[in-house]
Structure 1
Amino acid sequence: MAGDQRRLHAIGGEDPIWRLWSQLPEPWKGPVIGDGIEDWDRITENGDRRIDLRGLPDPIPAELAWMSHWQALDGTRSSVLGTNQLANILRRAIRQGHPFPPSIRAMDGETAVALQRWFYATRWGRLPPHGSVARLRVIFRFSRLALLARCSDGPWWALDEWHPRCDPRIPLSEHEPQAHYGCSPSKIGLPWLREAAKWSLGTQLEAGVLRWSTVSQERMRCLVRLDRWLTETSADPLDVLADPALAVQQAAAFRRWDAEPANRLTRRSEQRFATRPVSVRQVNDDLRAVAELFAFVAANPVEAHQILGPHPWSKVTDAHAAGWFRQVARVPGRRELNDEHYVDDHALAQIPAALPLLGLGRDEQMTITRGDGQQVSARGFDDPQAMRMILLQILTGRRASEIRTCLFDCLSAVPDKTIDATEGEAIARFHYAQSKIDIAPDNILVDREVVAVIEEQQQWIRERFPGITPRHLFMQRTGNRQGDKPYPSGTYAWMLREFSSIVKITDSKGKPVGLSHTHRFRHTKLTRLAELGLPVHVLMRYAGHATPSMSMHYIAARQEHAEQAFLATAKLRADGTRVLFSREDHDSLHLFERADRFLPHGWCLLPPLQTCDKGNACLTCSVFVTDASHQPALERQLTETESLIDRATTAFQERHGRSMPEENVWLLQRRAEHAALARLLETIRDKPGRAVQGAGCGTAPTGPVSLTLDLDRHQRTRP
């Protein structure tokens, strides 16, 4: 290649690789790469070995040189061993006349591995070891995608592999500054469907209608499932674009197929979901993705003709989209009491005790008590970052992505703070990585415990990655020389699944709590804040939601809390005994919703469907209750009752010349009210927090009440 440098410097040819090659620093142009490159040992992590590209046909040396340089800029190591091995394979293929693609861009990973198998078989008579195959695949994973993107003169969405890390042309929103995950339109096998999917999704992403996370993690997978359904079940897949009158039937058939868990699996790692029920929402998402694809093509016929050609998409109309939209099912309403995502205190108490196992070294062991009470000894996971991430999720209720990708300097002081930090209250502002809602806030106040976890992680990063300026609080541990890659989401999920399978956390009912489903900690945190009485707008602000209804979706309507909230207000009878409610006594829980049961001096426990005809006789009624909050009103009523009795008995004496008898029907009731008020106030003063029911009625009945039903009353007429 050294003798060809003059020819390779010629710019303006048809192949854009020469433009890229000419922009390389001189030491990276080869044919032997390594000499004169600063920090070569640190860039490659392969000692003083050099990349040897001599004897390879153009443009392969230029491609491999550019890919090696891109790896160095990306922060990963340049694949010296893998590149040299590929060069050796190609040189042997040239000598023996074995065919291979003319360029790296035309050679995918499977073709390269096939060449490697041929190389090992013809030279050593065996298959290549796993390590050699892995080194070769590294070359074709990201650096080749970056090469394809830089050499593409068309729109970015015309490529079959999309990855923002490799193609800076892919638009990202403000909250997606660095997306370290891609998607593969190449998984759609039908060419006409693949091209339409790339055009529609790419155009909507550029227009801001869709976000990268939606396109890569949802829409593309939906259309991949459509491709599988058409390939596996249709004699002619193009029938889906034919008669629009059949669109409803075709959508119904897809809905039934899509509802089978096994049909939704796309990778071997998803086999654990093969028996998990498919929700109505998941099927609806797939139906909408297909319908919106048809609607997009039908709404842009001119562009569709230019990009996709006249066949077969010219047959698609709005009727096709309407037929698929019609199969979107109504989502069943949520249960009134829904605590399936709530993690109770029993489970939360087990998690902190087992978390040190995540940070323990792999050569160390720790004895833990599992949820079933059994003690086991387990090896450490050597991942203190995962330990702190899940702990922060539990303490703050943030999403996994908001913790995993938050910036390194995520704490700031609260200048207008009025709460004394020594009291353990909010002492800092935590800036998390809000990546879902553009208009939502991205910070919350946190207490001393959260600050301690974050500062411990910052210190761990400084010690683990000396000499770099970290971007994220939680970092990828390998292939991250520049410190700009966050902790991978797949690694976090895998680590928590393995950890959960060992510690076997269970709730108070003995139900397993999978720690890899970290969103349940968000439900739990918001539920607890709501139960503390936070106003809705404050709860919405803390959750980072744009609407109150979304915050309410996270609140677990726990029956236990509803009962405790009512029973926490101590209620007493007039004789000083405590009012007890059973778990089945739901009528009393509706009292707070009925203003007609609020009395000036207490509450009426009469069932909502019954009415009262006793008038001013509450103090002698068995369904009347009160508490210390009504003490002033009760004292005033006692004074007024005493005054009323004195005036009435004095007037009786003056009129009749004798004292009012104690068995007088009026005086009897007033004496009972006076005695009830006296006993009630005495109990409230002696035992604050207790209460009274039905002042002059004695103990309320606890057993069934016999009723006599007159079945003929409705047939009578009034005289």
Structure 2
Amino acid sequence: MAGEQRHLHALSGEDPIWRLWRELPGPWKGPVIRDGIADWEKITENGDRSIDLTGLPDVIAAELAWMSHWQAMDGTRSSVLGTNQFANILRRAIRDNHPFPTSMRAMDWEKAAALQRWFYATRWGRLPPHGSVARLRVIFRFSRLALLVRCSEGRWWSLDEWHPRCDPRIPLAEHEPQAHYGCSPSKITQPWLREAVKWCLGTQLEAGTLRWSTVSQERMRCFVRFDRWLETFTDPLDVLGDPAHAVQVAAAFRRWASDPANRLLRQSEQRFAHRPVAVRQVNDDLRAVAELFAFVAANPAEVRQVLGPHPWSRVTDAHAAGWFRQVSRIPGRRELNDEHYVDGHALAQIPAALPLLGLSRDQQMLVTRGDGQQVTARGFDDPQAMRMILLQILTGRRSSEIRTCRFECLSPVPDRAVDAAEGEQIARFHYAQSKIDIAPDNILIDAEVVAVIEEQKQWIRDHFPDVTPRHLFMQRRGNRQGGKPYPSGSYNWMLREFSKIVKITDSRGTSVSLSHTHRFRHTKLTRLAELGLPVHVLMRYAGHATPSMTMHYVAARQEHAEQAFLATAKLRADGTHVAFSRDDHDSLHLFNRADRFLPHGWCLLPPLQTCDKGNACLTCSVFVTDASHQSALERQLTETEALISRSITAFQERHGRPMPEDNVWLLQRRAEHAALTKLLDTLRSKPGRAVQGAGCGAAPTGPVPLALDLDRHRRTRP
């Protein structure tokens, strides 16, 4: 293992590991790794213990040294115990002449686990404990994949395991967050299909046709299901047979993919075995296969070079067309409903329960569930999840846009924007727009949102004092350099467990799972639409590229028309406000009674009653109006004043004396004039308005108490 021996290897045909080994810092070259490495205790998981690689074959020792260094540079901790344990296993195998692969690249997890079982069986006569298996597993996850990537001389997509964390060559979109999840083409068991899928998806990623999130989380799963379906064939290559039968073959796959039991890829998905399969999901599977056939048919020369002549040379455009024909048509216009809307009854329960997420695990809190039952629960010790879901509720952003937003996400706004807000101080929030490149990536926010962000910033400074944070929400462990955002899997798991305890329910008694955070986006956009925001403004806030997508999020609630009516300030003829109740069924019938709509207001006369007062509405107790009729009321006041003046003058000329004030006609006109004057005075007056502070200044010194305003969407500011 002496360092001088490394340079005796010839450069021609040299094993790539020696190139990596020469690039290692001196203290990491071993054979004993610890001395000379700064902050060793911080970059390892076992204090001051050293990594001992003595007595191992040169290639394996160099590989383990490089893998340990990669773990430290990745921001995780070098696996001292796991590496030393594996070194002990190999040294014993050398002593007992037990066979093992000649390199870490040739030794996959199954072979390493078999070696470990042999070691424990021959030394202690038992199977390895779970902790030992877990420590060894760590070595064969990311660090070994990173080693395979660095030693690979082919295209990145030629490997059977893909992970951006280990392979920086994988293309990521500019606004796509640094992905900490991968995918495994190795799960496709048919070699001819696996190689074609890798080539097709890799090429589309490099061309920007697909994104990494689409490939890793959706498209690869489609091909894995297709591969499982091929196992039902006596000869899987029959799927590439006569193109005239492509439609029938695709129809068979569609029927198979429509069965929920056939879509389960993991044991943990068994709870979804009885859920009906959406047409869109089956369409995605069919479209993925059809696009693969179309890609192969469009590139015959590259197919022969990359995949060889067999069996893909038989694929034509007719195969792709046959599969595309099985894609079911989904009506382009979706019927709007309130399926994804979270009503006020459910939202009122969330702020009271959220502190449970931030409490430490040794603290308890009394929680009132949605069914009214009170339970005592232990804290989840995750204040980051508490603030993330609160920001999603307040802003309507996607979970990825909050979870991966950068640390310096606030910026001031121009003075003209503050002036337009009538004195309300606001700030600009830059979220992580990761879905649509041409869409905006910032919105204006108020003091409540700024307070939550500033509180999270202070939490990061307190818990990661030695790093320059990249993200506002950070992974708490294995993140020594501070470059990893809060994991999506941890966020979803935390909210699922939290929902099981608090059991939030809506007004209909239906359970609301907080892990389905996209519902809060539907809710926020629906409430903004109910405030009367124009579609282009709503689209800008949502970060969408088209108004049709924005309207997809707006829930068509039956009570929307009622709320729009009740939200405005209604005034009686004497200028006083009318207090409405949502249970006032008589007023709700106005929407079906055209005769109750007046030129200058509304008539609240019960539908079964009739009016015999003619046009005397201004002196009627069931007449109401609002600011939307101000111009009509002003015109009527002017005309009433002119009518009174003309009539008084005509009476004087005809009778030679002034019209008496108790004249029945004049009394009615004076009453109408007084009513109009009171109404317009009330409408023109602007009641005082509270000014909320916001901005990007100093962080608050303590927790920020927040209460969701559930009635804000029902009010309009004068």
The TM-score with structure 1 as length reference comes to: 0.84
User: 1:689–1:320: structure 2 CA closer, same or farther, 3 Å change rule?
Assistant: farther
Check whether the contact 2:341–2:523 (CA below 8 A) recurs between aligned residues. yes
AA in 2 matched with 1:381: F
**Deviation of 1:101 (Å):** 1.6
Which residue in 1 is equivalent to 2:488?
Answer: 489
Q: Structure 2 residue aligned with 1:632, among 617, 631, 634?
A: 634
Secondary structure of the residue that 2:559 maps to in structure 1? helix
Task: Write the mapping of 1:671-690 to structure 2, written as runs, cut at 5 A.
Answer: none
Which residue in 2 is equivalent to 1:526?
Answer: 525
Secondary structure of the residue that 1:367 maps to in structure 2? strand
Which residue in 2 is equivalent to 1:149?
Answer: 149
Check whether the contact 2:334–2:552 (CA below 8 A) recurs between aligned residues. no
User: 1:672–1:280: structure 2 CA closer, same or farther, 3 Å change rule?
Assistant: farther
**Deviation of 1:627 (Å):** 3.3
Q: Deviations over 1:82-119 (max 9, x none)?
A: 11111111111122222222211111112211211111
- Determine the C-alpha separation between the residues in 2 that align with 1:255 and 1:282: 10
Which residue in 2 is equivalent to 1:389?
Answer: 388
Which residue in 2 is equivalent to 1:176?
Answer: 176
Gaps of 5+ in 2: 605-613, 656-662, 684-718
User: 1:437–1:689: structure 2 CA closer, same or farther, 3 Å change rule?
Assistant: farther
Q: Deviations over 1:560-609 (max 9, x none)?
A: 121221355549899x9999765984864999xxxxx987556899xxxx
Which residue in 2 is equivalent to 1:273?
Answer: 272
**Deviation of 1:341 (Å):** 1.0
Check whether the contact 2:391–2:452 (CA below 8 A) recurs between aligned residues. yes
AA in 2 matched with 1:425: E
**Deviation of 1:676 (Å):** 8.7
- Determine the C-alpha separation between the residues in 1 that align with 2:317 and 2:209: 19
User: 1:395–1:335: structure 2 CA closer, same or farther, 3 Å change rule?
Assistant: same
User: 1:640–1:683: structure 2 CA closer, same or farther, 3 Å change rule?
Assistant: closer
Q: Which has the higher contact order (CA 8 A, sep 6+)?
A: 2
User: 1:633–1:265: structure 2 CA closer, same or farther, 3 Å change rule?
Assistant: same
- Determine the C-alpha separation between the residues in 2 that align with 1:599 and 1:376: 54
Which residue in 2 is equivalent to 1:234?
Answer: 233
AA in 2 matched with 1:250: V
Secondary structure of the residue that 1:59 maps to in structure 2? helix
**Deviation of 1:208 (Å):** 1.1
Matched, 1:453 2:452: yes
Which residue in 1 is equivalent to 2:700?
Answer: none
AA in 1 matched with 2:440: P
AA in 2 matched with 1:405: T
Check whether the contact 2:17–2:151 (CA below 8 A) recurs between aligned residues. yes
Secondary structure of the residue that 2:444 maps to in structure 1? strand
Which residue in 2 is equivalent to 1:187?
Answer: 187
AA in 2 matched with 1:627: T
User: 1:572–1:39: structure 2 CA closer, same or farther, 3 Å change rule?
Assistant: closer
AA in 1 matched with 2:192: W
Check whether the contact 1:421–1:427 (CA below 8 A) recurs between aligned residues. no
Work out which of the two has the higher radius of gyration on C-alpha atoms and give 1 or 2.
1
Which residue in 1 is equivalent to 2:709?
Answer: none
Which residue in 2 is equivalent to 1:119?
Answer: 119
**Deviation of 1:633 (Å):** 3.9
Secondary structure of the residue that 2:401 maps to in structure 1? helix
AA in 1 matched with 2:293: F
Which residue in 1 is equivalent to 2:705?
Answer: none
- Determine the C-alpha separation between the residues in 1 that align with 2:30 and 2:360: 42
Which residue in 2 is equivalent to 1:65?
Answer: 65
- Determine the C-alpha separation between the residues in 1 that align with 2:505 and 2:43: 46
Task: Write the mapping of 1:504-523 to structure 2, written as runs, cut at 5 A.
Answer: 504-523=503-522
Secondary structure of the residue that 1:462 maps to in structure 2? helix
**Deviation of 1:13 (Å):** 3.1
**Deviation of 1:482 (Å):** 0.5
Q: Deviations over 1:454-507 (max 9, x none)?
A: 111111111111211111111111111110011110000000000011000011
- Determine the C-alpha separation between the residues in 1 that align with 2:465 and 2:399: 26
CA RMSD for the aligned pairs?
3.5
AA in 2 matched with 1:42: K
Which residue in 2 is equivalent to 1:594?
Answer: none
AA in 1 matched with 2:46: N
AA in 2 matched with 1:631: L
Check whether the contact 1:412–1:428 (CA below 8 A) recurs between aligned residues. yes
Secondary structure of the residue that 1:171 maps to in structure 2? coil
- Determine the C-alpha separation between the residues in 1 that align with 2:39 and 2:308: 51
Q: Deviations over 1:671-704 (max 9, x none)?
A: 999999887666666778999xxxxxxxxxxxxx
Task: Write the mapping of 1:175-254 to structure 2, written as runs, cut at 5 A.
Answer: 175-176=175-176, 178-231=178-231, 233-254=232-253
Which residue in 1 is equivalent to 2:554?
Answer: 555
Matched, 1:32 2:32: yes
Secondary structure of the residue that 1:559 maps to in structure 2? coil
Which residue in 2 is equivalent to 1:87?
Answer: 87
Check whether the contact 2:562–2:588 (CA below 8 A) recurs between aligned residues. no
User: 1:426–1:340: structure 2 CA closer, same or farther, 3 Å change rule?
Assistant: farther
**Deviation of 1:248 (Å):** 1.3
- Determine the C-alpha separation between the residues in 2 that align with 1:258 and 1:582: 52
User: 1:323–1:599: structure 2 CA closer, same or farther, 3 Å change rule?
Assistant: same
User: 1:439–1:126: structure 2 CA closer, same or farther, 3 Å change rule?
Assistant: same
**Deviation of 1:275 (Å):** 2.6
Which residue in 1 is equivalent to 2:77?
Answer: 77
- Determine the C-alpha separation between the residues in 2 that align with 1:590 and 1:155: 70
Task: Write the mapping of 1:73-472 to structure 2, written as runs, cut at 5 A.
Answer: 73-176=73-176, 178-231=178-231, 233-332=232-331, 336-416=335-415, 418-419=417-418, 425-472=424-471
Give identity over the alignment, percent. 75
Secondary structure of the residue that 1:20 maps to in structure 2? helix
Secondary structure of the residue that 2:418 maps to in structure 1? coil
AA in 1 matched with 2:526: T
Q: Which 10-residue stretch deviates more, 96-105 or 156-165?
A: 96-105
- Determine the C-alpha separation between the residues in 1 that align with 2:202 and 2:30: 37
Q: Deviations over 1:380-430 (max 9, x none)?
A: 111111111111111111111111111111112224355379988342211
Check whether the contact 1:567–1:581 (CA below 8 A) recurs between aligned residues. no
User: 1:561–1:98: structure 2 CA closer, same or farther, 3 Å change rule?
Assistant: same
The TM-score with structure 2 as length reference comes to: 0.84
Check whether the contact 1:600–1:633 (CA below 8 A) recurs between aligned residues. no
In the comparison of the two structures, how many residue pairs are matched?
Answer: 656
Secondary structure of the residue that 1:250 maps to in structure 2? helix
User: 1:686–1:188: structure 2 CA closer, same or farther, 3 Å change rule?
Assistant: same
AA in 2 matched with 1:139: I
User: 1:188–1:566: structure 2 CA closer, same or farther, 3 Å change rule?
Assistant: same
Q: Which 10-residue stretch deviates more, 339-348 or 93-102?
A: 93-102
AA in 2 matched with 1:632: E
AA in 2 matched with 1:66: W
- Determine the C-alpha separation between the residues in 2 that align with 1:672 and 1:269: 84
AA in 1 matched with 2:120: Y
**Deviation of 1:2 (Å):** 2.1
- Determine the C-alpha separation between the residues in 1 that align with 2:303 and 2:135: 42
Q: Deviations over 1:245-292 (max 9, x none)?
A: 221122222222212222222122322322332211111111111110
User: 1:603–1:58: structure 2 CA closer, same or farther, 3 Å change rule?
Assistant: same
Secondary structure of the residue that 1:105 maps to in structure 2? coil
Q: Which 10-residue stretch deviates more, 320-329 or 193-202?
A: 320-329
User: 1:421–1:603: structure 2 CA closer, same or farther, 3 Å change rule?
Assistant: closer
Check whether the contact 1:572–1:690 (CA below 8 A) recurs between aligned residues. no
AA in 1 matched with 2:172: L
